[in-house]
Structure 1
């Protein structure tokens, strides 16, 4: 009984976020509303282990995120992945803009340890926050132990709506481009929406009779690719993040016909895994209290403003040379604030609500989602871990 209650509460919070997003046509992102609900819940009556009790524990997430990243590879071709080098450059240079402003102006306002503890989670995700928390504990700087996780939590509340606004602007621009006939759907690219997905049996290397093409057959193949990705990452001692390897292997497996377009959507498990991953991310909101936040809110907000300003200046300057709109370039930079799965959720919500029909949605998704996903992996999965490793030595 206790577990089904926990599961129901978690799902209801996500449902409310989804409904608010639908009612406002994604002006208010679903993950923003759900994050607010979890924060209020954890600060009042929700048990801190409610997400784990709902079955979304670390084992589930370890499996789920690997499978999801292989799946994302089936949404891109190898050519498409390589073509996103501009998004990678803008995202990384946006992070550099954040580093420059926070390390210069930030250190004029706050002490060195405060700035150093806050920057890695500002330019990355949960892993960077946890690395800095453990580093501060080891160094005996107990007064700042709560800062990294608090930064990770609060910058999302600013990053979600701001990114949603930018993506909406880009979505409307692309929609007008498509309606005028200037933009065309790439018929050779993988189909990114469930509506656009079409099974091309000629590309299968395992072209078994139809009765064997079951959802579990898809899941097994995705699992094998995820297993291979984690094994390779282990051989490399984590030199390249396992998530990045899973994404690349997913692209290759799709390219050679081992996996279909939109693999886990076809298998009927994509949403389940995505909700589980989101629930786990929201569970981190339980690590803070109002008293903790109140004691460091000024430092956090100031550094967030400086960090986002650095991203804006870098993306503003680079947008035209890299052939992107300023809204799209800034959105790519902002992926450093949250990464996957938030970048996926925000982008697909905007594409779905801005588009007036299925073809428009496919066009918008083709032109926005790869940039956001690759930008997020470049910053959160790679750059932020490197930055955290360097900054640990500066404490």
Structure 2
């Protein structure tokens, strides 16, 4: 088969579409991200070229542009008040990461050895930066199997996180929907969807100037400023993008739900999603067989640790056990999977736009903040510390 640019693009979209259809048919019990990951993995093991994602034009330059834009866009989904109000989510998420470390460095060490748990724990607590850092350190120290474990940990952890998160999010969506209906039917209580009429410091542009070009330009400018500020304040540039997105929207410079208004959200999300699965091309059956026991053993121990700590902290801070647990589970996949899983769960439970918006306003900010706490912040800090232990 000739995998031309457009053929590769079509195959990638076919896989993503199949995942989406199965998710809809199962009412999000089987997440689209999980289905797509399995299909890409099988494809890479059979007839997909290893560089299929890059061949389909989902290469790093456009992916990073998309990430910057979508992270600023995410800031336009939350008000500053909402972001600051998520301190409980931050503490629960950090507690889940601590639970991972406690389980892997104690029980995990006894079963799988010190080097395996030291290399595997940082990628389990977050994203690709931690995985690359641990794998490169292990390779330099002449530990190829340990380096392999660090790489595969990042690739495989989502297979555990996706289905568990889907179940938790659906239960939480049902709970939130009950609250919504009770508030709506009771005259003594009130409910509200996010108020989009709040006055801003910067007045909105006239409608004729709110074109896709203008909206994307403003998102790009904010992302550019974020990249300039990040090295000065020593904060990850993606985190700064999110923060400036919130501030830009609060001031009125950015439109709320900017990418949606620019009619670009669907394609930008497709670019980011496709790139996630590019990492699966590294995982061969032989590779997985060699490190399968410590790989899945460490993941299972980490999930148990997250669950124990999250339930305790959730009870203290007034979260349901499902919401507290799924906040910590974002460590296993981060953004954009947390965004997609949340929307899939809500779509499967809520029946109309009013219910959906109410559930999104309550659940999505927690999931977004939790993902940044675990993947973007905590995992990098932990990896920086753990490389000294290897």
Task: State whether TM-score is above 0.5.
Answer: yes
- Which residue pairs with 1:301 in the alignment? 296
Instruction: After TM superposition, give the deviation of residue 204 of structure 1 in Å.
Output: 7.4
Match of 2:276, SS? helix
Alpha-carbon distance in structure 2 between the residues aligned to 1:49 and 1:230: 28
Match for 1:127 among 129, 143, 160?
A: 129
Cα RMSD, aligned residues only = 1.5
State the Cα distance separating 1:79 from its structure 2 match: 0.3
CA distance in 2, matches of 1:108, 1:184: 53
TM-score w.r.t. length of structure 1: 0.94
Among 205, 209, 212, the alignment partner of 2:206 is 209
Gaps (5+ residues) in structure 1? Answer: 191-199
Query: What per-residue deviation string (whole Å, max 9, x for no partner) do you get for residues 177-231 of structure 1?
Result: 11122685534456xxxxxxxxx59647254433222111100001100111111
* Equivalent residues of 2:200, 2:251 under 8 A apart: yes
Assess if the C-alpha contact under 8 Å between 2:194 and 2:361 holds in 1. Answer: no
Could you give the per-residue CA deviations for residues 97-122 of structure 1, whole angstroms, max 9, x where no partner exists?
Answer: 11011101111112111111100111
Q: How do 1:230-245 residues align onto structure 2 when only pairs under 5 Å count?
A: 230-236=227-233, 239-245=234-240
Alignment of 1:185-224 (within 5 A): 185-189=191-195, 200=197, 203=200, 205=202, 207-224=204-221
Corresponding position of 1:51: 53
Structure 2 Cα separation of the partners of residues 142 and 334 of structure 1: 28
Aligned ranges 1:93-108 → 2 under 5 Å = 93-108=95-110
Counterpart residue number, 1:328: 323
**TM-aligned CA deviation for residue 319 of structure 1:** 1.1
* Aligned CA distance change for structure 1 residues 181 and 132 (closer, same or farther; 3 Å): same
Could you give the per-residue CA deviations for residues 267-321 of structure 1, whole angstroms, max 9, x where no partner exists? 0111111111111110000011000000111101111111000000001111121
- Structure 2 residue 271 is matched with structure 1 residue 269: no
| Contact kept? 2:125, 2:375, Cα under 8 Å | yes
C-alpha contact (below 8 Å) 1:106/1:306 kept by paired residues? yes
- What residue is the counterpart of 1:6 in the other structure? 8
Q: TM-score, normalised by structure 2?
A: 0.96
Following TM superposition, the consecutive aligned residue runs of length 4 or more in structure 1 with deviations greater than 3 angstroms are: 182-190, 200-204, 206-209
Matched, 1:392 2:358: no
Aligned residues: 384
Pick closer, same or farther for the CA change 1:339–1:11 going to 2, 3 Å: same
SS of aligned partner of 2:248 = helix
Cα distance per residue 1:137-188 (max 9 Å; x no partner): 1111122221112111221001000000000000011111111226855344
